[in-house]
Amino acid sequence: MTSITESIDVDVPVTVAYNQWTQFESFPHFLDEVESITQLDDTHTHWKVNVGGADREFDAEITEQHPDERVAWKSTGGETQHAGVVTFHKLSDTSSRVTVQLDWEPEGLVEKVGALVGAGSHAVKKDLKNFKEYIESRGGESGAWRGDVPR
């Protein structure tokens, strides 16, 4: 299992960053490897991704979610095994820190070599930078889901 932790500071209030992160179907705008996400219900999503040239599909379940604090998930089926949490921290009234912690099981030679040389960490850093540019350029979130999912 490979573990990655990366953070970025964004110049939006914590509520705006959190609200945008709950809009899973918008992820292809800032997560490079994500082709599409379909929200099935409040806690289930279906993902289509392309990792290192390999197309993969999987389902994920939100295992914990608390407004303005965290969204945790785990994969529940398909071709990818991973789990993670995104936490949101208020830095000021107009800025926040977004931290991604991701545990995943590399599949195949390309992913295993990539994990050894830190490609996953680089990809998460890039995705967080893309998220920062996306949310700051919009000036606000595209939607919100403020429900609470207990652990």
CB 33 within 8 A of CB 49: yes
Q: Given a cut of 80, is residue 74 above it in pLDDT? A: yes
Q: What is the pLDDT of residue 44?
A: 96
Computed over every residue of the chain, the mean pLDDT equals 89
CB 4 within 8 A of CB 121: yes
Q: Which residues contact 135 (CB under 8 A, 6 or more apart)?
A: 10, 12, 16, 17, 20, 141
Q: What is the pLDDT of residue 77?
A: 80
Domain architecture of the chain: domains with CATH: 2-24+62-138 (3.30.530.20)
CA 147 to chain centre: 18
pTM, two decimal places: 0.90
Q: What is the pLDDT of residue 80?
A: 76
Q: What is the pLDDT of residue 151?
A: 87
What is the C-alpha separation between 61 and 109, in angstroms, rounded?
Answer: 27
Among 8-17, 78-87, 107-116, the range scoring the smallest mean pLDDT is 107-116
Q: Please state, for a pLDDT cut of 70, what percent of the chain lies above it.
A: 91
Residues making up the chain, counted from first to last: 151
**Is 151 exposed, middle or buried (CB count within 10 Å of its CB: 0-12, 13-18, 19+)?**
exposed
Instruction: Kindly report the backbone phi and psi dihedral angles of residue 139, in degrees, each rounded to the nearest multiple of 5, phi listed first.
Output: 80, 0
Confidence of residue 97 (pLDDT cuts 50, 70, 90): very high
